[in-house]
Structure 1
Amino acid sequence: MKTRITELLGTRYPIIQGGMQWVGTAELASAVSNAGGLGVLTALTQPTPEALAREIARCRDMTDQPFGVNLTILPSVNPPPYEAYLDAALDSGVRVFETAGNSPAAFIEKIKRRGARIIHKCTSVRHALSAERRGVDAISIDGFECAGHPGEDDVPGLVLIPIATRALRIPVVASGGIADGRGMAAALALGAEGVNLGTRFCATLEAPIHAQIKQALVRASERDTQLIFRTLHNTGRVLKNAISNEVVATERRPGGCEFADIQPLVSGRRGRDALHSGEVDAGLVWAGQVVGLIDDLPSCEVLIERMVRECREALARASRLAAAAELCEEA
């Protein structure tokens, strides 16, 4: 398949594995890249910039295909050394970056000067237009269905994708709510030139997640995610479990809550421990509504090849329907 995204990334297929905390490691990223997509390492999953450099080297030992690094920039009292992580990746030869969270404006010139590409993830068209003006190479537009932080506008992909592709000149990657080739075909029909998958890649053989967490994703329906942090205006979508229920109950109590009231429940360490121990109720498990479409645990290669086949079949079927409709009109 050939789109502006495959040309930008140097991949066989316009399929990107989104950067996910504790999940975007060399095992998963290399498997996605070997299967023809773009695997993505998550910078802040590594404890230091030096550790990131070692993970990049490990990934390069596992694939000779392009892969990228995610750098999520979040407001924090004690922010991590973002630029040091970026330098470690650039010095290691990484030439594709997925940025998310706050604007990557402070890093765009350095990234471009080193000949690297930037895909910036946004949840609104206004932010996407700002990122385009600042010089990013592509936009990953994240609909309300997605795992993680969908923003505060609550606009689903079916509306957000065509608005974004109409407004932007640079290529758009559809993110959130995509798990199979039908979703990929729909995204392409809406004007996107690639797709970004997070939750679906968590439910693969190579994902560095405990088997019990993967089975929880397979068992879940589209109604088994929950929105947290709504009252704090930092909405996040997670798999419904005992921790998310407690967070929502705390937010709904009379008088509301402050982040400090729920911080012990939602700490990153607890989430990491849940993914590794298999105890679903031990911490937050980030997942999108797309869990309702997940019913198996394939390898990344099987998943990607199946998606591409289903996508082509869906587009061909749509073309046949359009041709039949045209014949009826002529008759």
Structure 2
Amino acid sequence: MHNRFTQMFGIEHPIMMGGMQWVGRAPLVAAVAEAGALAVLTALTQPTPEDLAREIANVRERTDKPFGVNLTILPTMKPPPYAEYRRAIIEAGITIVETAGHRPQEHVDDFKAHGVKVIHKCTAVRHALSAQRMGVDVVSIDGFECAGHPGEDDIGGLVLIPAAADALDIPIIASGGIADGRGLVAAMALGAEGVNMGTRFLATQECAIHDNVKDKIVASTERDTNLIFRKLHNTARVGRNSVSDEVVALLDRPEAEFADVAHLVAGAKGRSVMESGDMDEGLYWAGMAQGLIHDVPTVAELVERIMNEAREVAARRLPALLETAA
């Protein structure tokens, strides 16, 4: 399954592990790279740009295969020093970056000026077209099923992926609701040239989060997520627990505002969930794909399984359907 995406980034399989806060660290990134897929460190998981440089070096000690770094731009009251993180990425010689979030133009321009290939995450075709004009190399189109921020249009991948493929000239990779080889084949049939998975990689042995989180994902169904911040027009999909239930209830009131839930959604609380395993300490990110996750394999086992299943679907099931129709 080689195409523009795999050739552009020098990877064996059309599979990517996108940026995930508190998750995208060296051991998992290196494991995904060694399995022949593309993974990215999450820059803002590291406390400082200097820490990011050290984590990049840590990955390189573990693998000589391609990997990238995610830089997500968020409109916050006290933004991190994005330009300094960007400079650390460039000075480390990173050649692949995943960008996401608010107005990344200056970052894309600087990365491109230094020969960095940019994958930009979008949740709408109009945003993907803007990213293409901006000069990015690949768009990750994120459907409504995804963890994190699915946008405000509520368009699922079955429509969003082919709509983006029809509109764009650059490669697209599909994100949201994908956890196995069936999803990979379906995404490519719809016009994508690869898939970007997050939730599925949480439930792997090399992912350095507490086992309670992995067990919760395995035990959950596709219905066990919550959409929060809808009223604030900053929709986010998270795993369902007592905290996300409370956030939904509080923001459902007519007079509600962000200050009412700020104490519940703090990033430090989410980090505590991942590290302590207390599932009612804060929010944790999870997409609808958790309904397709039933075990916690190694990354190598997972990638091999996905590719084998994809080949079986492409080589046996689809031709069998055509023969039946004939």
TM-score range, shorter chain: over 0.9
Q: Deviations over 1:105-149 (max 9, x none)?
A: 112222112111000000000000000011000000000000000
Aligned to 1:6: 6
Aligned to 2:48: 48
Aligned to 2:151: 151
Letter in 2 for 1:51: D
Q: CA offset at residue 318 of structure 1?
A: 4.5
Determine the C-alpha separation between the residues in 2 that align with 1:273 and 1:141.
29
Aligned to 2:234: 234
Q: CA offset at residue 77 of structure 1?
A: 1.9
Q: CA offset at residue 322 of structure 1?
A: 5.4
Q: How does 1:67-106 map to 2 (within 5 A)?
A: 67-106=67-106
Q: Deviations over 1:29-72 (max 9, x none)?
A: 00000000011100000010000000000011011100000000
- Secondary structure in 2 aligned to 1:280? coil
Determine the C-alpha separation between the residues in 2 that align with 1:165 and 1:33.
26
Letter in 2 for 1:289: M
Aligned to 2:285: 286
Aligned to 1:141: 141
Count of aligned pairs between the two proteins: 326
Determine the C-alpha separation between the residues in 1 that align with 2:77 and 2:269.
20
Q: Does 1:269 align with 2:279?
A: no
CA contact (8 A) 1:96 1:118 kept: yes
Letter in 2 for 1:268: G
Determine the C-alpha separation between the residues in 2 that align with 1:138 and 1:157.
17
Letter in 1 for 2:302: L
Letter in 2 for 1:173: I
* TM norm structure 1: 0.97
Determine the C-alpha separation between the residues in 2 that align with 1:290 and 1:319.
23
Q: How does 1:11-22 map to 2 (within 5 A)?
A: 11-22=11-22
Q: Does 1:128 align with 2:128?
A: yes
Aligned to 1:257: 256
- Secondary structure in 1 aligned to 2:178? coil
Q: Does 1:317 align with 2:312?
A: no
Aligned to 1:206: 206
Aligned to 2:244: 244
CA contact (8 A) 1:13 1:37 kept: yes
Q: Deviations over 1:239-268 (max 9, x none)?
A: 110100110110112x23111110010000
Aligned to 1:222: 222
CA contact (8 A) 1:29 1:59 kept: yes
Q: CA offset at residue 201 of structure 1?
A: 0.2
Q: Does 1:63 align with 2:63?
A: yes
Determine the C-alpha separation between the residues in 2 that align with 1:30 and 1:115.
22
Aligned to 1:30: 30
CA contact (8 A) 1:250 1:256 kept: no
Q: CA offset at residue 164 of structure 1?
A: 0.3
Determine the C-alpha separation between the residues in 2 that align with 1:277 and 1:319.
45
| Identity score, percent | 58
Q: CA offset at residue 289 of structure 1?
A: 0.5
Q: CA offset at residue 167 of structure 1?
A: 0.4
Determine the C-alpha separation between the residues in 2 that align with 1:213 and 1:187.
27
- Secondary structure in 2 aligned to 1:174? strand
Q: CA offset at residue 161 of structure 1?
A: 0.2
Q: CA offset at residue 90 of structure 1?
A: 1.0
Determine the C-alpha separation between the residues in 1 that align with 2:105 and 2:286.
28
* TM norm structure 2: 0.98
Q: Deviations over 1:68-101 (max 9, x none)?
A: 0000001112211111101101111110000011
Q: CA offset at residue 325 of structure 1?
A: 5.3
Determine the C-alpha separation between the residues in 2 that align with 1:235 and 1:46.
25
Determine the C-alpha separation between the residues in 1 that align with 2:69 and 2:143.
22
Determine the C-alpha separation between the residues in 1 that align with 2:322 and 2:235.
43
Q: RMSD of the TM alignment (CA)?
A: 1.0
Determine the C-alpha separation between the residues in 2 that align with 1:322 and 1:286.
37
Letter in 1 for 2:24: G
Determine the C-alpha separation between the residues in 1 that align with 2:98 and 2:3.
18
Determine the C-alpha separation between the residues in 2 that align with 1:139 and 1:323.
32
Determine the C-alpha separation between the residues in 2 that align with 1:284 and 1:200.
18
Determine the C-alpha separation between the residues in 2 that align with 1:161 and 1:167.
10
- Secondary structure in 2 aligned to 1:281? coil
Determine the C-alpha separation between the residues in 1 that align with 2:292 and 2:146.
13
Q: CA offset at residue 317 of structure 1?
A: 2.8
Determine the C-alpha separation between the residues in 1 that align with 2:12 and 2:129.
28
